[in-house]
Chains A and B, each alone.
Chain A
Amino acid sequence: MNYKISDKAKKVTLGVAIVGLVLLVIGFFQQKEFVYANKIDDHSVEIKYNGHADQDAQNALKESITSKLTGYDIEIHDANHGHNEHATNDDSHGHHGPTFLWNIHFKHAENHSSLIGSHESGADILIDKVNNGEISFFDNGFRRFWSNLLVNGFFFFGIALGALFYLALHYATESGWGVVLLRIFEGIMSAMPIGIGVLLVVFLAGSFGAHHIYPWMDSDLLDPNSSHFDPIIYGKKAYLNLPFFWIRVVAYFTTFYLFLKWFKKKSKEQDEIGGTESHFKMYRRGALFLVFFAVFSSTMSWDFIMSIDTHWFSTLFGWYVFSGIWLSGMIMVMMITLYLRKGGFLPNVNESHIHDVGKWMFALSFLWSYLWFSQFMLIWYSNIPEEVIYFTERIENYKLLFFGTFIVNFFFPMVFFMSRDTKRSAGFLIVIGLIIFIGHWFDVFNMVMPGTLFDQWEIGLLEIGMFLMFLGVFVYTVLNAISKSPLLQKNHPFLEESKHHEY
């Protein structure tokens, strides 16, 4: 049966994307560069900033401090005379002294605070305003924007890749049960160019210095004569250098894309000519894909994600990322299947198929949790400084997100998908599936943000908007791709097994 994307589906997916875009644009112009405040006593606060800010921007910030502390009589002293030359230095890394350091002094603080009836001292109010970003710069480097682009680009690339991986696995293992679902896998993997495109933009921008997500792309850190020289990153130069990185990026994306195209072409061919020739070709090609994938899935996650925290290393990282990719792909398969089945487009998909995809979601959640725990526990237990710093940062600045992600992604599937009935109930699958889907988006968020935004992360309009935009466009692309070919591989040699699948 052919699926035709309905007007409603089109409206909903593109509508979500447009709403996302609007939120994204609003969020984009709200990106902040935080300054750091340190309370000295009730009358004075020290304000420090490490990034790039010229004199005009500094004056504007001073004005904003004065205007936001109405009722207080304050004085701003520059306490950083020795480092003033850095104020115009074009460098936003801050491996040296701060760009500016101000002492803000409150005259007669108590008098004034009683005047406006506040229990807080002026110093505390100032610190609050600094910490929640009310007093801050506009982020000209767009760090949040680029970081989010990487998070979403990678997450949605991963979903498509997860589907491609499972399709190859299905052929290589000569599985029969899932044949009636294969066109859905094909549809999802067809959306891979979205992720590839976005990731390419992020990498290109990074290569040309538009953002500093990957510290090793910064030539200043690799120059032994520079004051910012980083010997550890320098030591990784043989692997982490732009030409080799781009060779790898091109190799990953071309390999994946060519396999994707090839699988789609062959399955269409099989529809037309029948026979078993193309099936056995796909069986062999599936195994070949798994060989490439075994290597690329690891190196790819080192290149795209692990190298953000350039000093840090973990041998398990690649497999951990892979488990998340596979699971996110499976959840997407489940959602699309349930949607199409509800519309009556999948007459051959019975409850046993749904149950089996549900089992995969359950099992892969365990796999992910197992790998998450293994990586975390071993590093936590050994407590070696250069390794444990990765988790220290996350626990200090991302505590709720870090542990929350694990708890949600582990306990929800465990509790709710343990029983046979829930794995067959669309309601449970959709609600819990969506929760862990978002949970795994946050997993990627936790992998990226602590290395790019440090403690200055936010979940705001930018994050929500960009996610919605990607989601809308992704689902639309998937549905569109599915509508391009019949929903059933009618000549698959295991089709009868799949049609009569019952377990």
Chain B
Amino acid sequence: MHKESDIRLPLILGDKSYKDITDDVIRPIEANPPKTWYLLLMISVVIALWGIGCIVYLLGTGVGVWGLNKTVGWAWDITNFVWWVGIGHAGTLISAVLLLFRQKWRFAINRAAEAMTIFAVMMAGLFPLIHMGRLWLGYWVFPLPNQFGSLWVNFNSPLLWDVFAISTYFSVSLVFWYIGLIPDFATIRDRVTKPIFKKVYRVLSFGWTGDAKAWNRFEQVSLVLAGLATPLVFSVHSIVSFDFATSVIPGWHTTIFPPYFVSGAVFSGFAMVQTLMLILRKAYKLEAYLHVKHIEYMNIVIIVTGSIVGVAYITELFVSWYSGVEYESYAFLNRATGPYWWSYWAMMTCNVISPQLFWFKKLRTSLMFSFFMSIIINIGMWFERFVIIVTSLHRDYVPSSWTYFHPTWVDIGVYMGTLGIFFVLYLLFSRYFPVLPIAELKTILKSSGKNYKEDYGKGKGYWDKHSAH
């Protein structure tokens, strides 16, 4: 067993046993959900239906119902796409990259974050599909041999690379998530009493036996998938950034885009995880497994990725001047001082300046403040994509076609609708799936559980003598 230093804070608080872990995680599945759950589900369903209505109206009428104009040919559609893909980065980063880095605290958040990833990527994928205007021809994005004439995908286009990258990412994330769920489904299968539940969980658990050989394979597959998923985390958002950076549009064409988009994606993803987990831990009484230390770790990831994004913003701004290319300089000057100055400064405030407050230990360990900041960052990262996309387009090379973009009610409706669908899926997940990885939590109980930490509570352990640093 791995040795763990005294000075590391315990990851599982309270006097928990293996059975307690199972009980605590499965309790919400066995019990009847509270009224708030139904209420939230209702609200989400209504918003989702409204969004679906907007999509149907869009498909029936045409993409012209969006606020796009001849200069701004891409606006909320692609902004929302990139925003959702970005959010969909945290889950796999947590499960793959943090697994490779052996971060044990990830067990408090990985299951829910992976679910979030999958739902977010689904929402992202919706936007390019409806943008085509003809949803039923969506499969044309794949290079399928066909007899439609000379119809073939353009392999030179980063938009096509996106199709491959996102579908690969989605598949691997889904498999990764599901493999992790199998032992936990089996645990539920063995406990629940309702016959219908028993049947469903039996199917879901794929006949998991829990013998040594199964565990061995489980561990191996997890590691292999983590190895596969890590480059995917990089590739997806890099390729999303290629959608812009391969072009010759000032403000879009800049080489820092790939790593900076990846960092921004992790930043926004963690903010969303923070938003969701802070609610979940309270609602499901999981405070022992997801406590202040976990929140602090997530806030540290947020401050690091937020600062990387900040360095990238400033680098772009500086190099636009340094390049001596007047179009480049103008694009950035226009962002900061042009008609969209408010969105630029919203982005700067939310993404670069406000996360720096997390340098204060008091703030990064405050749950209320973390929740508030996570919302701010979600907003800021939406604005980042809006700034990149709309402010670079709205004033092109021909001043006579300079315009201002106004979203229509359909733009807003579709976006709100994806939020609705996302929350419907997430609420269903939190009701029927184990929101914490039961089996994996048990692996750290004896090394990082408070009651198991050496001499803890007997006056000899480090934290008995020192207050938190």
Which residue numbers of A lie inside 8 Å of B, CB to CB? Answer: 174, 176-177, 232, 235-236, 239, 276, 279-280, 291, 294-295, 298, 302, 311, 313-319, 366, 370-371, 374-375, 377-379, 381-382, 384, 386, 493-494, 496-497, 499-503
Residue of B nearest to A380 (CB): B246
Interface string of B211-242 (1 = CB under 8 A from A): 00000000000000000000100100010001
B255 partner, pick from A366, A379, A496, beta carbons under 8 A: A379
Residue of A nearest to B311 (CB): A294
Counting CB contacts under 8 A, is B147 at the interface?
Answer: no
Min CB distance, A274 to chain B, in Å? Answer: 13
Q: Across the interface, do A318 and B248 meet the contact criterion of CB distance under 8 Å?
A: no
- A397 CA / B315 CA spacing, docked (Å): 30
Residue of B nearest to A294 (CB): B311
Q: Across the interface, do B308 and A294 meet the contact criterion of CB distance under 8 Å?
A: yes
Residue of A nearest to B234 (CB): A370
Main DSSP-derived SS at the A contact region: helix
Q: Across the interface, do B246 and A497 meet the contact criterion of CB distance under 8 Å?
A: no
Q: Across the interface, do B254 and A497 meet the contact criterion of CB distance under 8 Å?
A: no
Q: Which of A279, A378, A500 gathers most chain B CB within 10 Å?
A: A378
Counting CB contacts under 8 A, is B325 at the interface?
Answer: yes
CB contact under 8 A between A497 and B324, given known A315-B315, A319-B259, A384-B248: no
Q: Across the interface, do B469 and A315 meet the contact criterion of CB distance under 8 Å?
A: no
Q: Within 8 Å CB of A319, what residues of B?
A: 256, 259
A315 partner, pick from B102, B248, B256, beta carbons under 8 A: B256
- A8 CA / B113 CA spacing, docked (Å): 55
B322 partner, pick from A174, A313, A501, beta carbons under 8 A: A313
- A236 CA / B462 CA spacing, docked (Å): 56
Q: How many residues belonging to B are interface residues under a CB distance threshold of 8 Å?
A: 37
Q: Across the interface, do A375 and B255 meet the contact criterion of CB distance under 8 Å?
A: yes
- A298 CA / B310 CA spacing, docked (Å): 13
Q: Across the interface, do B2 and A315 meet the contact criterion of CB distance under 8 Å?
A: no
- A366 CA / B238 CA spacing, docked (Å): 14
B245 partner, pick from A280, A295, A302, A378, beta carbons under 8 A: A378
Q: 8 Å CB contacts to A: which residues of B242-256?
A: 242, 245-248, 253-256
3 nearest A-B residue pairs (beta carbon): A315-B256, A316-B255, A500-B3
Which residue numbers of B lie inside 8 Å of A, CB to CB? Answer: 2-8, 102, 231, 234, 238, 242, 245-248, 253-259, 307-308, 311-312, 315-316, 319, 322-325, 462, 466, 469
Q: Across the interface, do A493 and B5 meet the contact criterion of CB distance under 8 Å?
A: yes
Q: Within 8 Å CB of B4, what residues of A?
A: 497
- A269 CA / B248 CA spacing, docked (Å): 55
Q: Within 8 Å CB of A294, what residues of B?
A: 307-308, 311
Given contacts A314-B256, A374-B259, list 7 more A-B pairs with CB under 8 A.
A313-B319, A315-B255, A315-B256, A315-B312, A316-B259, A371-B259, A382-B248
Q: Within 8 Å CB of A311, what residues of B?
A: 324
- A110 CA / B48 CA spacing, docked (Å): 88
Q: Across the interface, do B7 and A298 meet the contact criterion of CB distance under 8 Å?
A: no
CB contact under 8 A between A384 and B253, given known A313-B323, A374-B238: yes
- A503 CA / B104 CA spacing, docked (Å): 14
CB contact under 8 A between A381 and B319, given known A370-B234, A493-B7, A502-B2: no
Min CB distance, B67 to chain A, in Å? Answer: 28
- A370 CA / B258 CA spacing, docked (Å): 9
Q: Across the interface, do A374 and B7 meet the contact criterion of CB distance under 8 Å?
A: no
Q: Across the interface, do B5 and A494 meet the contact criterion of CB distance under 8 Å?
A: yes
- A294 CA / B315 CA spacing, docked (Å): 11
Q: Within 8 Å CB of B319, what residues of A?
A: 313-315
